[in-house]
């Protein structure tokens, strides 16, 4: 059987390590990421040794400011795991989804594991319509509790199903004007970048992210891209990186409005 790597990614304290321990049992390899004192843990999926689970450091974003962000980003972009299990703290869904959108932009197929189901039920603030969330994002969503060991089999089944039949998933679609700028940048880099990573690099170039400086662009390509960014900044009257941040927040707001049912809304609708 072909070996494949599944990365565990999510915000700090979303439950990655708890889930990692459940998925891998005692079959763990622990070391450090090269050059930094950030712990690196990998292991093989219980009963499925062909699937390697890689625990990634917890981060809130894929910009390249902290060692955790750099490690996570380099792993997803350069090592290209076959899948991501994105662990989310379901009691903090908005902030956690912000990171999910960035993970979806990498082009790596993703499964959302909505963790802390037990806490969500206990808090009774809101519930999440996971079917709708899965439909809107077009990615598999599984509600779990790593602490209470709930629905872990269901998650494992989904992971295995995806490795048997590798999938790619459409990325979130943002504001039309931003989308047209991104597709013009994609045209400029088409050919130097693999298809599944075109969107990632287009967004990073649009944000003027320094970590994509290694791309060997011609002077003409760079000028074209600069013009595209300038035009968008005038159109939005905003910095290009803020344009992207706002687009992600708008997207999440729409998703939340459709998928999160406040308990108070629910009781009101019942009366």
Residue from 17, 21, 221, 246 binding Mg ion (CB under 5 A)? 17
Q: Tokens 């802390």 map to which residue?
A: 116
Considering the rule CB under 6 A, would residue 18 count as an interface residue with ligand GDP? yes
Q: Tokens 């995806």 map to which residue?
A: 162
Contact window for Mg ion (CB under 5 A) among 14-22, 62-70, 129-137, 258-266: 14-22
Residue from 69, 118, 129, 224 binding ligand GDP (CB under 6 A)? 118
User: Closest approach of Cβ 98 to ligand GDP, in Å?
Assistant: 16
Give the footprint of ligand GDP on residues 37-56 (CB under 6 A): none
Considering the rule CB under 6 A, would residue 109 count as an interface residue with ligand GDP? no
- What is the full DSSP assignment across 107-132? T--EEEEEE-HHHHHHH-SEEE-HHH
Interaction partner, residue 204 (ligand GDP, Mg ion, none; CB < 5-8 Å by kind): none
Considering the rule CB under 6 A, would residue 119 count as an interface residue with ligand GDP? yes
**Nearest Cα to Cα of residue 255 among 120, 67, 140, 101:** 101
Q: Are strands 110-115 and 141-143 parallel, antiparallel or unpaired?
A: parallel
The crossing angle, in degrees rounded to 10, of helices 240-259 and 219-236 is 60
Nearer to ligand GDP, 17 or 134 (CB): 17
Q: Are strands 48-55 and 4-10 parallel, antiparallel or unpaired?
A: parallel
Interaction partner, residue 14 (Mg ion, ligand GDP, none; CB < 5-8 Å by kind): ligand GDP
* Distance separating alpha carbons of residues 178 and 229, to the nearest angstrom: 10
Residue from 6, 7, 9, 15 binding ligand GDP (CB under 6 A)? 15
DSSP letter for 59, please. Answer: -
Binding site for ligand GDP (CB under 6 A): 10, 12-18, 58, 115-116, 118-119, 145-147
């Amino acid at each position: 059987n072909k070996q494949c790597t599944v990365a565990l990614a999510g915000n700090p304290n979303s439950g990655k390590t708890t889930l990692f321990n459940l998925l891998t049992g005692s079959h763990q390899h622990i070391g450090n990421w090269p050059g930094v004192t950030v712990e690196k843990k990998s292991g093989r999926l219980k009963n499925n040794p062909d699937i390697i689970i890689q625990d990634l450091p917890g981060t809130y974003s894929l910009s390249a400011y902290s060692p955790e962000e750099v490690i996570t980003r380099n792993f997803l972009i350069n090592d290209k795991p076959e899948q991501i299990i994105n662990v989310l703290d379901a009691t903090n869904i908005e902030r956690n989804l912000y990171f999910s959108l960035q993970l979806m932009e990498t082009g790596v197929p993703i499964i959302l594991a909505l963790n802390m189901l037990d806490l969500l039920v206990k808090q009774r603030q809101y519930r999440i319509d996971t079917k709708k969330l899965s439909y809107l994002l077009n990615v598999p969503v599984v509600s779990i509790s790593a602490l209470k060991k709930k629905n872990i089999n269901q998650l494992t089944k989904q992971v295995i199903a995806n490795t048997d039949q590798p999938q790619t998933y459409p990325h979130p679609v943002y504001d039309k004007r931003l989308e047209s700028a991104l597709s013009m940048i994609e045209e400029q880099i088409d050919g130097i970048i693999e298809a599944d990573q075109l969107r990632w690099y287009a967004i990073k170039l649009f944000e003027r992210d320094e970590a994509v400086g290694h791309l060997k662009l011609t002077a003409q390509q760079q000028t074209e891209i600069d013009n595209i960014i300038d035009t968008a900044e005038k159109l939005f009257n905003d910095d290009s990186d803020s344009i992207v941040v706002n687009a992600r927040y708008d997207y999440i707001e729409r998703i939340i409005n459709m998928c999160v049912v406040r308990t108070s809304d629910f009781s009101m609708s019942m009366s």
